A and B are shown apart, each in its own frame.
Chain A
Amino acid sequence: MGLTALLARVATGAPVPVFAVAGPGTRSLIRDLRLRPEIRLVDTPRPASVLLVGGLVPAEMEMAVARVHDAMAHPRATVLWSAGAAGLGRPEGFDDAIPVDGDPVAACVAAYRDILVGRRGSEPPILPDVDPAPWRGVGPYGQGGSGMTGGVPYGRPMAELGPDPDGLRLDVLPVAVGPLFPRFPAGLVVDARLAGDLVLEVEVANLLANATAAAPSPEADPFLRALGERVAIADLELARARAHLRSVAEALLAAGLEALALRALRIAANLRAGDGALVRRLATIISATQVLRWSLRGVGAVPPEAVAGLGAGPVARASGLREDLRLEDPAYRDLGFAPLVDAGGDAAARLRLRLGEAVQSLDLAARAGARAATATGRVETPRGRLEAESSASERLFTVLPSLLREHEWGDVVATIVSLDLDLEEGPLARGRARPEAAA
């Protein structure tokens, strides 16, 4: 046996490096895959060996998926996962990809073993492997030449001089991040003009806005059901606590605390109504990590007037607004529900509030008995007010650029993570209202 073959055999014992793309409806399923020790979700496609695509990727994102695929090192394979009813998409060019309905992790592990030992060939690039335009540099290192500075010449972003807040004229580089940046929700594109690490100007786009989507299973999301029928409060509140803990896990990942994020995800995955003490203990550990102080204090300040009336749920409540649809529900009033409010307004306040609401929801779930929420066609989800036509995250989009402008890139990421944008909620609600469109 040659050395390469021996190393390949040893490598099959490693966690499979997977770059995951969450199509609409598969967001939390993909996030929970982090708990599986057989695979390791990586932040960048370069070291990934398996590309995992969940659900139906909308046409607007297919090019990004193809570019991520082509950025992966050889040997590589693609697994397309239907995630139940979310649907199996096969983006253009992915003819060799492996479709799977059941456990995506087993499929990733099998694909990885096959490409390592040569039972399966590495996938060729999908896009033509040519420069976006001929390189016109002339110097020994390809530098210089005419028309090679400023803007986006021949498809390559180049820095050009621009004013900065200190009154200097510095290099400004246009950089588009997304729609598959792992810290952002799938479908979010942040088009920033960067001066060093400062975001001078920013535009945001939602590539899931026109997506059609179906929830992986009818039971998957009690909030979607609550749009049209009476759903047990115990189910809704347990789902809310779970969603908040997953959001907390994302914030911990962004703060470099992957192990603690896993702990939060694990609590969320096995959550029961009596687990309030477990969540409180997690909150104590999180507080000890200083994430609420030196990472997030003062970051991503949301003035209450910016989000008033948007129904932005925890984002509004963490800015001191007493906005919560549950206040209008007699069933919740019967339980003595009063929303938690935090006047902080920053990313730390939002993280604190979600931890507090998770504990509160578990308490409500434990006391709710057989009570069911009143069906009014609108529901307070973990992100805020969801209606058949729009979600809280979609409405927050209008104020997003003003929250990100003139902040450092690290703070921009922390701010977006702290808003817990969920771009699939809107398409799922619309797909539920018009099932023929989702089919």
Chain B
Amino acid sequence: MRPYVGAEVALLATAAALVAGVYLVAVLDRFAAALVAGAVGSWRRLLVVPLAAAAALLVQQRRTTERPDGAGWAVAPALFFGLAAFALALVPLGPDLVIADPSTGFVAFSAAIAFVMIAVFLHGWSPNSPFALHGAYRYGAAALSFQIPFLLAMLATALPAESLSIVDIVRAQEPAWNVLRQPLGLPLYLVVGVGVSFWGPLNLSDASDVAGGTSVEDSGVARLLWTIARSAMLVAVAAMGAAGFLGGWWGPILPGPAWMIAKTGAVLLAILAAGHLLARVRIATFVLVAWAVLIPLALLNVFVSGAILL
């Protein structure tokens, strides 16, 4: 019998993990930005400003536009956040410490990633605004290109485990982490993981050249929720990266969950730092690279991983 926790525990644990994760993203992102900008302020400021900024959005009016799709606008961040929570609930902290470990965990995670496109497109469609819709279509174009290599990179991790369960995938990394067995896997996964949460170099849909894209019309609590949902998805992507490629709970001396949290934090920091150190790609270039380079590399990764097992 695979472990499943009760609904109340699941809700509380996921909520706690996401609150901590989203706050960690806000602090780490500011820290990375300050390092790159060459002016790190006080630690107190680094820790307090994200909370103050959230409070500022909470007391701000939520503006609407002429003839918006009000329901869609309200649902989009909720759907995005829900998908992040769903994806995170599949990631094990330890061999017996997981909210849900279905035998098809990998498929469930992939489904959540695929649905992100619906949330982002809805968010850009609903305000009835040109730049928002522009951002929505950009995400559609990019997502179609990066979801295939994303799934192929993840799929290769299921081969040595001979299972689609995330717990089995981590357990199978005891002799060697997947980052060593499949050196192409983690880079591929990270490239497209950044794309899924449209962060840094792959922030095409909410980019500065469309004045914020899908979130151009957001103010107040709507903007806060969208920011939280994006950060939550980033946490889920980082956690699954740590589980799928960096050996999850395996590690010396420290207890398993501590390793898992440390690895997730390291992946997060790498993604956030890359966001401030890598320029945004042109969408045409990215789509071309995704189809001509990333998909063939991901296929190669699957074939080589399979051949080694044979």
Q: Which residues of A contact B (CB under 8 A)?
A: 4, 7-8, 10-15, 17, 37, 43-44, 46-47, 49, 71-75, 116, 131, 135, 137, 141-142, 156-157, 173, 175, 181-183, 194, 196-197, 252-260, 262-263, 266, 285, 288-291, 294-295, 299, 408-411, 413-414
Interface check B219, CB cutoff 8 A:
yes
Interchain CB contact under 8 A, A256 and B283 = no
In the complex, A180 Cα to B36 Cα: how many Å?
28
Cβ contacts under 8 Å, B280 to chain A: 255-257, 295
Q: Which of B48, B137, B218 contacts A13 (CB 8 A)?
A: B48
* Given A197-B283, A295-B281; A256-B208 close (CB under 8 Å): yes
* Given A7-B58, A74-B61, A197-B134; A256-B66 close (CB under 8 Å): no
Q: Which residues of B contact A (CB under 8 A)?
A: 32-39, 41, 45, 48-49, 51-53, 55-63, 66-67, 69, 130, 134, 137-138, 200-201, 203, 207-212, 216-220, 223, 276-286
What are 23 of the A-B contact pairs (CB < 8 Å)? A7-B58, A8-B55, A8-B59, A11-B59, A14-B49, A14-B56, A43-B212, A71-B63, A73-B60, A73-B62, A73-B219, A74-B61, A194-B130, A255-B280, A256-B200, A257-B279, A258-B33, A258-B276, A263-B37, A285-B277, A294-B279, A295-B281, A411-B282
In the complex, A11 Cα to B57 Cα: how many Å?
8
Given contacts A14-B53, A157-B130, A290-B278, 14 further A-B contacts (CB under 8 A): A8-B59, A11-B56, A13-B49, A47-B60, A47-B218, A47-B219, A47-B223, A72-B219, A74-B61, A175-B130, A262-B38, A266-B38, A290-B201, A408-B284
Q: Which of A49, A72, A260 contacts B37 (CB 8 A)?
A: A260
A140 to chain B, nearest CB (A): 12
The 9 A-B pairs at the shortest CB distance, nearest first, are namely: A291-B279, A13-B52, A11-B56, A14-B52, A259-B36, A256-B280, A73-B219, A262-B37, A10-B55
In the complex, A292 Cα to B62 Cα: how many Å?
39
> Closest residue of chain A to B33, judged by CB?
A259
* Given A73-B63, A256-B279, A295-B280; A413-B209 close (CB under 8 Å): yes
> Closest residue of chain B to A132, judged by CB?
B66
Interchain CB contact under 8 A, B37 and A10 = no
Cβ contacts under 8 Å, B283 to chain A: 197, 408, 410
In the complex, A135 Cα to B65 Cα: how many Å?
14
* Given A46-B217, A295-B279; A183-B208 close (CB under 8 Å): yes
B81 to chain A, nearest CB (A): 19
Interchain CB contact under 8 A, A46 and B216 = yes
In the complex, A409 Cα to B41 Cα: how many Å?
36
* Given A135-B67, A256-B200, A299-B282; A7-B59 close (CB under 8 Å): yes
* Given A17-B56, A262-B39; A256-B33 close (CB under 8 Å): no
Cβ contacts under 8 Å, A299 to chain B: 282
In the complex, A290 Cα to B289 Cα: how many Å?
15
Cβ contacts under 8 Å, B55 to chain A: 7-8, 10-11, 14
Interchain CB contact under 8 A, B282 and A259 = no
Cβ contacts under 8 Å, B282 to chain A: 294-295, 299, 408, 410-411
A132 to chain B, nearest CB (A): 9
A406 to chain B, nearest CB (A): 13
